[in-house]
Amino acid sequence: MIMLFVGRLVWIKGVDKLIRAMPQILQKIPNAKLVVVGLGDMQDYLEGLVRNLHLEDVVKFRFEFIPEEERIAHYAACDGATFPSLYEPFGIVTLEAMSMEKPVVVGVAGTSGMREIVSISGSNQCGFHINPNDPSDIAWGIISSIKDPKKRLQYGRNGRERVLDLFSWDEAAKSTIERYTELVNQKKAQGSST
């Protein structure tokens, strides 16, 4: 089972907590692997953390920025994606993973645009919200997202549908036009009341 993280390797992205979650994940999913793709100030620290936790065979790094085609190949090869950010205004990587029919586990402490992106219940569930400060909660989310093959596939299908329904360029344009129309109408109403 392969989990994927793509992003900047900085403290706010929570990669260190994700790595700290791996021993708990391995207890439930012994064949779990984590692939970390990105660049950032934490590279040396993360490599040391993996060595200290004896996870060299479990956590694999690709310290580089990769083009879109390679990101797509990484998403296609993984079983799920995890983005335990402490703060994330939007989270395009979450949409990328969902569009590739992968279940997602996302951090939702504080300000997180991923809270609205990822549906966590009902018939359209596509992933799990976790506390990005808690490796045990991250482990729970990952285990829950990938342990059942049927649910994993359903979460992935639901995620893709959600992206196509709510986050396409057409939907973004429509939403922007609606918001501007709303603001113009409010301004007109304020002008006519004075």
* Sign of the C-alpha dihedral computed for residues 143, 146, 149 and 155 taken in this order: positive
3-state secondary structure of 36: strand
Fold of 2-192: Rossmann fold (3.40.50)
Which pLDDT score, from 0 to 100, does residue 27 have? 97
pLDDT digits (tens, 9 = 90+) for 20-40: 999 999 999 999 999 999 999
CA distance 75 to 143: 18
pLDDT digits (tens, 9 = 90+) for 102-149: 999 999 987 677 878 898 999 999 999 999 999 999 999 999 999 999
Which pLDDT score, from 0 to 100, does residue 194 have? 60
User: Is 26 in contact with 53 (CB distance < 8 Å)?
Assistant: no
CA distance 114 to 19: 20
Q: How far apart are the first and last CA of the chain?
A: 64
Mean pLDDT across the chain: 92
Average pLDDT over residues 32-52: 97
- Scored b (16 or more CB within 10 A) or e, 101-139 reads bbbbbbbbbeebbbbebbbbeeeebbbbbbbbebbebbb
Predicted TM-score (pTM) of the model is 0.86
Under the banding of pLDDT at 50, 70 and 90, the label for residue 17 is very high
Under the banding of pLDDT at 50, 70 and 90, the label for residue 193 is low
Which pLDDT score, from 0 to 100, does residue 87 have? 86
Q: Structural domain boundaries of the chain?
A: 2-192
* Length of the chain as a residue count: 194
CA distance 114 to 107: 8
